[in-house]
């Protein structure tokens, strides 16, 4: 059996751990302990989470896409390259 250790964390850190445990519980559809949430975070650190891991996770409407594209297009029209 693994030896247990006690650690102290701030109220804010504990609240965030509980939030992460709750998110995992929803995802896994089963109870998740604080320890399991911490192990999950440790595994994420080991995997080296990349920005590309977020691909496809943003829910966006066609209208929002058009607004973003229009905004980018306008910004490019105003941009002027630096003079050399």
Q: What is the pLDDT of residue 29?
A: 94
- Burial string for 36-47 (b: 16+ CB within 10 Å, else e) reads bbeebeeeeeee
**84 three-state secondary structure:** coil
Q: What is the pLDDT of residue 8?
A: 92
Computed over every residue of the chain, the mean pLDDT equals 87
The predicted model gives 63-81 an average pLDDT of 89
| Interval 31-59: pLDDT, tens | 999 999 999 988 887 777 677 777 777 78
């Amino acid at each position: 059996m693994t030896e247990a250790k006690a650690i102290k964390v701030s109220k804010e850190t504990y609240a965030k751990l509980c939030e992460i445990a709750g998110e995992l519980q929803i995802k896994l559809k089963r109870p998740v302990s604080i320890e399991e949430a911490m192990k999950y975070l440790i595994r994420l650190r080991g995997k080296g989470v990349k920005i590309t891991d977020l691909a496809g996770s943003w829910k966006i409407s066609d209208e929002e896409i058009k607004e973003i594209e229009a905004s980018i297009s306008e910004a490019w029209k105003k941009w002027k390259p630096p003079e050399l």
